Amino acid sequence: MKKRIIGALGAAAVSLAALMAPAMADGNLRVAIPANLNTLDAAKTKLGEEYIMNFLVFSGLTEVDGKGGVKPDLAESWAKSDDQKTWTFKLRPGVKFHDGRLLEAEDVKATIQRIQDKATGSTARVNFDIVESIETPDKQTVVFKLKIPYSGFAELFGDRQVRILPRDKFDTVATSPVGTGPFIFKSFTPGDRVELVKNPDYFVAGEPKLDAITLRIMPESAAQIAALETGDIDLVWNLPLESIDQMKKNPDVVVDSTSTSTWDGLIMNAAQKPFDDKRVRKAILMTLDKPALVEVALYGQGTPTHTMIPPSHPYFNKDLPISTPDIEGAKKLLAEAGYPNGFEATLYVPVGRPTRERLGIAAKELLAPIGIKVDLQRVPWDKFVKEIEGKAAFYTDGFFSRPTIDTSIYPFFHSTGSWNTQLWNYKNPEIDKVLDDARAAKTEEERAALYNKFQALAEDDPAGAIPYVLNHVNAYRKNVKGFSSSPMMWLDLRETTIQ
């Protein structure tokens, strides 16, 4: 009995000590993200929140900066054959997975083959349709043979889903991911938080600088902002656009904004009347006031553009002016197309995607002067994906930044593009040729010229209206140093410190 009492007292003392312990270790960066993660399996990720994990826990063969550049990551170098159909990657020697095993060429091969498998359901799969075979002549070398010449192949490995996974851990990667990245996965409490700790064996010496990262899942923006202001968290990822002005007034908080190639668009389905007529699409484009749409839909946090190539990109066509509204010209085009008095159209907008909802509302007003009477319908997301996208004639939609110029454009604009037929059924043989040529282009100048031409063609014969690219905004406390927002909207925290 006495023993038991002493035991109980001991236990009480231990738990009391636990109560007194400081809440957080130093060097732990606490980040607020709005949504729960579906999966931790990089190949299957589809959400911005999941992409954050992909870049903290895993690495790719290469790394892209979102502005057209590509650098080594797990591959220390690569070479392409003259016909751009054979690509050889040399792996960085001595890279260890978090479980201590050495990275081998076989891991790369198995990772890519898994992405190519339809049953995996990776959205990166279509990008690797061009791969004919993968060979691993030795443990440090991977050779890809392609079906077509493809100049942007190295950039594909900087993509979000294309993280190199250990081939013996595919079955458990969704719940306990093991990678080669700067941080090691510790725990995930669904709906609450993800805990990561520093990888002491990270292959870049001196990185990462933080000891740990906590990703807190906080759906309500008022809660995120209160937590940032009181110091409960250090960084809010992807700050809601409507809170930016309020945050800027706080002297303890830094608001950091960068332009991305994430875009919203007014989708016009060329397989359906009246949008099968390019003059109708052009008339609608001519009516839209792009800077005004940036103000209304994004509270000013965006940049008017021609296509999904953002003005910050080296391939942006600077000779082409951003179109200004031309109501008379638009009316004339509509009359030529056989709609002198305009027409009635139903515009579908997805519920829960606020920028696209506001874009729809603004479009309704802007199209009235040329006689297009828009009936606005808000549709729940599930139904939107299943019944509206690719099937309705007129709707607003939007797409996340993609890491390479080819994967940003080809799937949408090429007549055989994987997303084209499920979006707007756009066909333009000239654009097809330009995009195919750009894939095989041998020099930067050649590539830049082709993409400049693409933008001019798309302005003349629009697939839909892409009025702007969005800004990505993060807010963090003053004591967070060495952080800058990424145009790809993921968090690069390798150089970040807390002071």
Partner 1 sequence: MAIYVIKRLLGIVAILAVMSVLVFAITQVMPGNVANILAGQFADDATIKAIEHKLGLDAPAYVQYWRWAGGVLSGNLGNSIIMERPVGPLIWEAFKSSALLAILAFIMVAVFGILLGVIAAIRQNRFADHAVSLFSYVGVSVPEFFWAIVAIIVFARYLNWLPSGGAGNISQGFWVWASHLVLPVLTLTLTLIAHVSRLTRSSMIETLRSNYVRNARAKGLPEKVIIRRHALRNALLPTITVLAIDVGWLLGNIVVVEAVFSYPGIGRLLLFAIERHDLPLIQAGILLIAAVYCFANLIADLLYAYFNPKIRYGHAES
Q: Which of 69/380 has CB closer to partner 1? A: 380
Task: Collapse the DSSP code of 395 into the 3-class scheme (helix H, G, I; strand E, B; otherwise coil) and give the result.
Answer: strand
The full DSSP string for 26-77 is: TTEEEEEESS--S---GGG--SHHHHHHHHHH---SEEE-SSS-EEESSEEE
**Residue 132 near residue 146 (C-beta atoms within 8 A):** yes
Q: Which is nearer to partner 1, 47 or 322 (CB)?
A: 47
| β-bridge pairing 464-477 and 302-304 | antiparallel
Amino acid letter, residue 286: M
Looking at beta carbons only, is 189 or 499 nearer to partner 1? 189
Asked if residue 409 lies in contact with residue 307, where contact means CB atoms within 8 angstroms, the answer is yes
Binding flag, residue 205, partner 1 (CB under 8 A): no
Q: Which is nearer to partner 1, 21 or 205 (CB)?
A: 21
Binding span for partner 1 by CB under 8 A among 37-45, 296-304, 321-329, 454-462: 37-45
- Of 41-49, 251-259, 297-305, 472-480, the segment contacting partner 1 by CB under 8 A is 41-49
> Which region, judged by CB under 8 A, interacts with partner 1, from 5-13, 133-141, 276-284, 386-394?
386-394
**What are the residues whose beta carbons fall under 8 Å from the beta carbon of 114, sequence distance 6 or more?**
43, 120, 122, 165, 170
Which positions ≥6 away from 17 have C-beta within 8 Å?
none
Closest contact distance (angstroms) between CB of 18 and partner 1 is: 5
Report how many residues bind partner 1 under the rule CB under 8 A.
50
- Residue 233 vs 434, nearer CB to partner 1: 233
Contact 186, 53 (CB under 8 A): no
> Cα–Cα distance between 183 and 201 in angstroms, integer?
10
Closest to partner 1 by CB, 96 vs 216, is 216
Contacts of 237 (CB under 8 A, 6+ apart): 31, 32, 33, 34, 48, 49, 52, 474, 491
Q: Is 218 in the site for partner 1 (CB under 8 A)?
A: yes
Of 225, 366, 450, 470, the one binding partner 1 by CB under 8 A: 225
Would you say 393 or 423 has its CB closer to partner 1? 423
Question: Which residues from 10-29 bind partner 1, rule CB under 8 A?
Answer: 18-21, 23
Cα 75 to Cα 59: distance, rounded to the nearest angstrom: 10
Residue number, 373 or 383, with CB nearest to partner 1: 383
Q: Which of 36, 113, 141, 258 binds partner 1 (CB under 8 A)?
A: 36
Contact between 387 and partner 1 per CB under 8 A: yes
Of residues 317-376, which lie at the interface with partner 1 (CB under 8 A)?
none
Site for partner 1 in 42-101 (CB under 8 A): 44, 46
Calpha distance 115→244 (Å, rounded): 38
Contact between 128 and 112 under an 8 Å Cβ cutoff? The reply is: yes
**Interface with partner 1 (CB under 8 A), residue from 4, 5, 205, 220:** 220
Q: How far is the CB of 97 from partner 1 (least distance, A)?
A: 20
Q: Are 217 and 36 in contact (CB under 8 A)?
A: yes
Integer Cα distance of 298 and 359 in angstroms: 9
Find the binding residues for partner 1 in span 406-425 (CB under 8 A). Answer: 418-419, 422-423
User: Nearest 5 degrees, angle CA 12-CA 17-CA 19?
Assistant: 95
Instruction: Name the phi and psi angles at 423, rounded to 5.
Output: -125, -65
User: Helix, strand, or coil here: 298?
Assistant: helix
Nearest in space to 94 (alpha carbons), one of 206, 204, 177, 203: 203
How far is Cα 465 from Cα 305, in angstroms, rounded to an integer? 10
Q: Is 123 in the site for partner 1 (CB under 8 A)?
A: yes
Of 130, 143, 197, 223, the one binding partner 1 by CB under 8 A: 223
Pick the stretch among 62-70, 228-236, 299-307, 331-339 that binds partner 1 (CB under 8 A): 228-236
Round to whole Å and give the CA distance between 264 and 355. Answer: 8
Query: Measured from the CB of residue 171, what is the shortest distance to partner 1 in angstroms?
Result: 9
- Can you tell me which of 121, 300, 314, 338 binds partner 1, judged by CB under 8 A? 121
Smallest gap from residue 353 Cβ to partner 1 (A): 12
**How many whole angstroms separate alpha carbon 82 and alpha carbon 72?**
21
Distance in Å, CB of 53 to partner 1, minimum: 13
Choice from 93, 137, 191, 300 touching partner 1 (CB under 8 A):
191
Told to check if 226 binds partner 1 by CB under 8 A, we report: yes
CB of 173 to partner 1, least distance (A): 9
Q: How far is the CB of 224 from partner 1 (least distance, A)?
A: 8
Structural contact between residues 243 and 255, judged by C-beta atoms closer than 8 angstroms:
no
**Shortest gap between Cβ of 303 and partner 1 (angstroms)?**
24
Nearer to partner 1, 225 or 431 (CB): 225
Which of the stretches 101-109, 226-234, 276-284, 318-326 binds partner 1 when contact is defined by CB under 8 A? 226-234
Q: Would you list the DSSP string of 401-417?
A: --SSHHHHHHHHHSTT-
Contact residues toward partner 1 (CB under 8 A) are: 18-21, 23, 36, 38-39, 41, 44, 46, 117-119, 121, 123, 125, 174-175, 189-193, 216-220, 222-227, 229-230, 232, 381-383, 385-387, 389-390, 418-419, 422-423
